[in-house]
């Protein structure tokens, strides 16, 4: 059994931070935002291989990736060219509650995991603000989150993330390999078309 101390410094898990009513509010915010900023299919740089999640964003900047341009932050939606919808107040409040970072996040990536979707082990390194915390919200179906160390291929710890859970990645944890190895598809009725939605707030610029 893993002890909490096996997790990297700066990792914090807040189980069921959001009530069922607040989770419904968050899903309604996602639904409204994706009416103007529809989910898009992200693709790997150079190969164009699709990732298994679909994505959108809230905030002044959004994370995008495609074959030609690779991983980057953009102020406009890749398909519509419109600015991203603003960060909802409930997420601004969350950031202020669980971090002591002086600035608000610029980007909130929305990842939607449908049946069979996963996310391979990676490090988020497209932000200039590498020391700012990242705050993540899980909604819908449960998922197994894995976090390792700063080197690819080392030992990892698993944490099951449930709907309403919040994870904060600060300090060393911010620079650790992590991914979603499995989603227990069909366990939650929260997401109207099924699956899991993850919201990840990031500070991009210094």
Does residue number 124 form part of the binding site for Fe ion (CB under 5 A)? yes
For residue 151, the minimal CB distance to ligand MD3 (Å) is: 14
Hey, which residues between 96 and 135 contact ligand MD3 (CB under 6 A)? 109, 111, 119, 124, 134
> Closer CB to ligand MD3, residue 81 or residue 100?
100
> Closer CB to Fe ion, residue 74 or residue 124?
124
- Token pair of 84, please? 């991203």
Whether the CA torsion 199, 89, 35, 61 is positive or negative: it is: negative
d(CA 13, CA 170): 12
Does residue number 203 form part of the binding site for ligand MD3 (CB under 6 A)? no
| Contact region with Fe ion (CB under 5 A), list: 8-16, 87-95, 123-131, 148-156 | 123-131
Give the binding-site size for ligand MD3 (rule: CB under 6 A). 16
> Closer CB to ligand MD3, residue 54 or residue 81?
54
Distance from the first to the final alpha carbon of the chain = 39
Hey, which residues between 71 and 90 contact ligand MD3 (CB under 6 A)? none
d(CA 71, CA 56): 14
Does residue number 52 form part of the binding site for ligand MD3 (CB under 6 A)? no
With contact defined as beta carbons under 8 Å apart, do 187 and 139 qualify? no
d(CA 187, CA 133): 30
């Amino acid at each position: 059994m893993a002890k909490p101390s096996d997790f990297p410094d700066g990792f914090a898990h807040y189980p069921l931070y959001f009530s069922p009513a607040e989770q419904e509010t968050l899903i309604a915010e996602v639904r409204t935002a994706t009416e103007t900023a529809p989910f898009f299919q992200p693709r790997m740089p150079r190969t164009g291989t699709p990732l298994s999640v679909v994505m959108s964003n809230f905030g002044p900047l959004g994370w995008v990736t495609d074959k030609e341009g690779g991983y980057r932050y953009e102020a406009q939606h890749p398909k519509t060219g419109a600015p991203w919808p603003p960060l909802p107040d409930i997420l601004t409040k969350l950031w202020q509650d669980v971090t002591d970072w002086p600035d608000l996040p610029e980007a909130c990536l929305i990842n939607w995991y449908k049946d069979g979707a996963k996310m391979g082990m990676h490090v988020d390194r497209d932000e200039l603000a590498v020391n700012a915390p990242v705050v993540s919200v899980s909604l819908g179906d449960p998922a197994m989150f894995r976090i390792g160390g700063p080197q690819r291929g080392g030992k990892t710890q698993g944490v099951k993330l449930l709907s309403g859970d919040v994870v904060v990645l600060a300090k060393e944890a911010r620079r650790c390999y992590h991914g979603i190895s499995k989603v227990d598809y069909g366990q939650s009725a929260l997401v109207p078309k099924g699956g899991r939605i993850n919201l990840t707030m990031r500070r991009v610029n210094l």
